[in-house]
Structure 1
Amino acid sequence: MAMTLRLSDEENQHLAELAAAEGRSKQEIMRLALAERWARLQKEQQLAEVLSRVLPRYKGLLDRIGTA
């Protein structure tokens, strides 16, 4: 799917410099950035899910540790 990405001159310059430094196209840099952000979101959601299950189980212990 094609899309148009509007960048400021400064953002475009940063993207061009990053692409040149990594030997990639600007398009590839943007796709990789999207993939990295998506992966981070998935990890954050997984962590939130695990914490919502685990923290209640250890609430008493955590409360005691917090006051020590």
Structure 2
Amino acid sequence: MGMTLRTSDEQTEALRRQAAAEGRSMQAVALAAIDEYIARRTHKAMVADALQRVVREEAGVLERLRDA
């Protein structure tokens, strides 16, 4: 599925420079950036979920540690 992405002149120029520095197309650099963004957000959500689970499941231990 395709889409149109509108960028500012500054963003376009920065993307052009980065793509040239890497010897890649602007599209390849933009797609890599999107993939990295999604991976970071997914990982961050998983970590937050795991933390909430640990806090919930280990509330007693955490309370004892707080009081120690």
**Using the alignment, how far apart are the partners of 1:16 and 1:62 within structure 2?**
50
Residue in structure 2 matched with residue 47 of structure 1 by the alignment: 47
Q: TM-score, normalised by structure 2?
A: 0.80
Unaligned runs of 5+ in 2: none
Q: Distance in 1 between matches of 2:66 and 2:18?
A: 45
Please state how far the C-alpha of 1:7 moved relative to its aligned partner: 1.3
User: Partners in 2 of 1:21 and 1:62 — Cα distance?
Assistant: 49
Instruction: Provide the residue aligned with 1:32 in structure 2.
Output: 32
**Where has structure 1 moved over 4 Å in runs of 4 or more?**
63-68
Instruction: Determine the structure 1 residue equivalent to 2:2.
Output: 2
Query: Once superposed, what is the RMSD of the aligned Cα atoms?
Result: 1.8
| Identity among equivalent pairs (%) | 43
CA displacement, residues 33-55 of structure 1 (integer Å, 9 cap, x when unaligned): 11001101110111111111101
